[in-house]
Amino acid sequence: MLIMAYTPSLFLPADERSNMNSLEHDFDRFAFSKQPGYHEPTVRREFAKAVSLRTVVVYCYDPRAVGIPAAVARELGEVYPGDIVRDERGNKIASTTSLFEVVVAGGRARDALRSITVAQHLFGIENIVIVHHTHCGATSFTAEGIINAYRHEHGNDISTLYERESICITDYLTSLKHDTELVRRSNGTPSHVDIYGYVYDIDNETLSLVVENGGVGSGSKMAATAQAAAAFVLNPDEAHPLEGMFC
């Protein structure tokens, strides 16, 4: 017996289905992999030129923690937020930033591993910074507490959904040691990358270094800061790598 998967567009009138198909086709023009002559290695090389990325910072989505990326940029000598570079037609084709943000609950690294892998693949990275902040909501509950609450309030068992050590923050030293070690063990983390764990004080907006996990062949944080002093800045008068790749 043939069972057809539910597809909403199949139940629309023919003219609306046609419009939807046309719209989906139009979206394809924004995907690099859908362009004529697409060659993945070439596109990857061009992406690496478009942003001189050095550092990925993982932090909490608490609005009070919004100052963390700028604080990390000052600490490591990064360019942030930088400027968006446009081509002559106004397309956004590059950026002068050298720091990317990954924003997740509590700043826990488990939720950032895929983003770190992709950042390395597209741009290459030198530093990964995990930041947990003071008075974080993730310190207000326990792993058992949220598991029990979901069971009673929603009828769902989340006990095996997440690693217990990554659900909340019991204390900052433990959470940062766990997260920096987790990132170091990840196959998506290159061995040369330096990993740092900081606590950010949301009231005085300062960082305290708690954990430093140097990469293979790397120097200390101070050496990385000295290197960052020569941060790459795109020259708006020069041709940029993604120029001409937009329709």
Which secondary structure element, helix H or strand E, spans residue 86, and what is its range? strand 84-86
> Domain residue spans in the chain?
54-228
Q: What is the DSSP letter of 51?
A: B
Task: Choose between 246 and 74: higher pLDDT.
Answer: 74
CA 239/CA 71 separation, integer angstroms = 32
- The reported pLDDT for the residue numbered 11 is 41
- Classify domain 54-228 at the CATH topology level: Beta-carbonic Anhydrase; Chain A (3.40.1050)
- For the record, the structure tokens of 129 come out as 């910074």
Predicted confidence band of residue 26 (pLDDT cuts 50, 70, 90): confident
Predicted confidence band of residue 244 (pLDDT cuts 50, 70, 90): low
Query: What are residue 103's DSSP bridge partners?
Result: 59
- The reported pLDDT for the residue numbered 162 is 95
CA 19/CA 11 separation, integer angstroms = 14
Contact 59, 131 (CB under 8 A): yes
Residue reference for tokens 């530093």: 127
Per-residue pLDDT tens over the stretch 67-111: 999 999 999 999 999 999 999 999 999 999 999 999 999 999 999
CA 166/CA 144 separation, integer angstroms = 12
- The reported pLDDT for the residue numbered 47 is 87
- The reported pLDDT for the residue numbered 126 is 97
Residue 233: pLDDT over 50: no
Residue 232: pLDDT over 60: no
Residue type, 112: A
Residue reference for tokens 């989906």: 24
Per-residue pLDDT tens over the stretch 115-145: 999 999 999 999 999 999 999 999 999 999 9
Instruction: Say what percent of the chain tops pLDDT 90.
Output: 74
- The reported pLDDT for the residue numbered 132 is 98
Per-residue pLDDT tens over the stretch 111-123: 999 999 999 999 9
Q: How far is CA 131 from CA 9, 80, 120, 207, 226, in A?
A: 44, 16, 19, 9, 21
Residue 15: pLDDT over 90: no
Residue 245: pLDDT over 90: no
Per-residue pLDDT tens over the stretch 174-189: 999 999 999 999 999 9
- The reported pLDDT for the residue numbered 200 is 98
